[in-house]
Chain A
Amino acid sequence: MAGKTASEYIQHHLQNLTYGQLPVDYERFDGTVLSETSWTIAQTSKEAADMGFWAIHVDTMAWAIGLGALFLFVFRLAAKRATSGVPGGLQNFVEVMVEFVDTSVKETFHGKNAVIAPLALTIFCWVFLMNLMDLIPVDFITHLFTLAGFPFMKIVPTTDINVSLGMALSVFVLIIYYSIKIKGVSGFVGELTLHPFSSDNLFLKLVLIPINLLLEGVSLLAKPVSLALRLFGNLYAGELIFILIALLPFWAQWALSVPWAIFHILIITLQAFIFMMLTIVYLSMAHEDSH
């Protein structure tokens, strides 16, 4: 935290490396005024915020894709060499993961869908790896990148709301897709409008439709939002506490950071597991044609 106040230090650590579009006549951090709309890397948090939607968190994307690729590379390696004979160490590990996910899916999801299990595996491993970055000391990689000239570097993708929301919305799209695929448009609309309150009286039925739609709509929309915010909130708070601990004198940090890190091992695994399980449960509900 060389030459920075505590709040500057925290803000610096919570800011993503953002590449985005700044509008014409925008005054940059160093006082220059843009003569035309331009794509650039934000040098301050304000610039990053002013870029609005047309910006991308380069660090988040790089770490997320890198970790996802690492996961798939390792698993693909094991899958290619998979034999039904005596498995080696890597294959053993991969099989344990696959079997764990497969069991979880089979216990919860009773339909027939080839997508669910690989989806759950991808979610669990990927989210776990992204969460795992939280255990790397907060200044370690960030400082290296700062030395290399990057204005910001946030290495835990899941502390970026875009990541958790992006995955949650993808799951949401799948929920809608499978709801319509299994129940048909009318079945899905009926599920949203004719429950939980129903009546045989046509007039009463019409009156109840908006109420049902409101209730079911909220519960439907709450799924991706809760999915995203649970993961994001847990990891963001955890990261924030690591940053706060890093504000302590270096000889005192271990007393707090070690217990918190150990506790965090539980949290990152649990959050990855919860994200996976809820995805399975939501998709299982989308497949159930109970109404």
Chain B
Amino acid sequence: MNINLTILGQAIAFFIFVVFCMKLVWPPVIAALQERQKKIADGLAASDRAERDLELAQEKSAQELREAKQQAAGLIEQANKRAAQIVEASKGDARKEGEKLIEQAKAEIVQELNQAREALRSEIGVIAIAGAEKILETSVDASKHNEMLEKLAAEL
């Protein structure tokens, strides 16, 4: 229980230990602690950000999907319209074509009718003469009876 030099020895040891602790122990440990703290904070912030990014991406994809659907619907509608148009147009064309064909056919018919009529006209004289010859048992002089024959042919 005597107070003696030990008190000084203790004070000196204390001083040295504190300095050692201050220079070589405290800074690395506290630096590691702070760095880890920062890392954790960064990690948490990053996960927050990732969550937000995910949300945004989801929103964006939903929007794009909606837009795509709209676009597709628009395209389909357009296509339908176009198809209807084409159908309409082709219907019109077909009708026109048909009419044209019918007219052509009619014209041809008329032409052929005329031709047949002409042919008949040219041949009717001969047939009439032949018929008359049979009836009269004499030959008919075509040149003599030409006037009559022509009258006949015109009646046809």
Listed in ascending order, the chain A residues whose CB lies under 8 Å from chain B are 14, 16, 18, 20, 48-49, 51-57, 60-61, 64-65, 68, 71-72, 75-76, 78-80, 82-85, 87, 91, 94-95, 98-99, 102, 114-115, 117-119, 121-122, 126, 157, 160-163, 165-167, 169-170
Contact = CB atoms under 8 A, between A and B. Distances in A.
Secondary structure class of chain A's binding surface, majority of residues? helix
Contacts, number: 135
B29 A72 contact: no
Nearest to B34: A84
A63 to B, nearest CB: 11
Nearest to B5: A56
Given A61-B10, A102-B30, A119-B18, A72 B5 contact: no
20 contacts: A16-B6, A49-B2, A53-B5, A55-B2, A64-B10, A75-B21, A76-B25, A78-B29, A82-B29, A82-B32, A95-B33, A98-B26, A117-B26, A118-B22, A119-B21, A126-B14, A162-B6, A166-B9, A166-B10, A166-B14
A14 B36 contact: no
A56 B5 CA distance: 5
Contacts of A60: 6, 10
B42 to A, nearest CB: 11
Contacts of A53: 3-5
Contact of A56 (B4, B25, B27): B4
Contacts of A94: 29
Interface string B74-104: 0000000000000000000000000000000
Which of A52, A102, A160 has most chain B Cβ within 10 Å? A160
Contacts of B9: 56, 61, 162, 166
Given A55-B4, A55-B5, A161-B1, A98 B13 contact: no
Secondary structure class of chain B's binding surface, majority of residues? helix
A129 B1 CA distance: 21
Contact of A72 (B6, B20, B31, B38): B20
Nearest to B4: A55
Contact of A170 (B3, B14, B24): B14
Which of B10, B14, B20 has most chain A Cβ within 10 Å? B10
Contacts of B17: 68, 71-72, 122, 126
B57 to A, nearest CB: 31
Interface in B15-74: 15, 17-18, 20-22, 24-33, 35-36, 38-39
Given A54-B4, A56-B5, A126-B17, A75 B25 contact: yes
B15 A170 contact: yes
B11 interface: yes
A153 to B, nearest CB: 15
Contact of B32 (A51, A95, A119, A161): A95
Contact of A84 (B15, B24, B25, B36): B36
B33 to A, nearest CB: 6
A65 B9 CA distance: 9
A117 B32 CA distance: 16
Contacts of A72: 17, 20-21, 24-25
Nearest to B13: A65
A122 B19 CA distance: 9
Contact of A54 (B5, B15, B30): B5
A68 B4 contact: no
Contacts of A167: 10-11, 14
B7 interface: yes
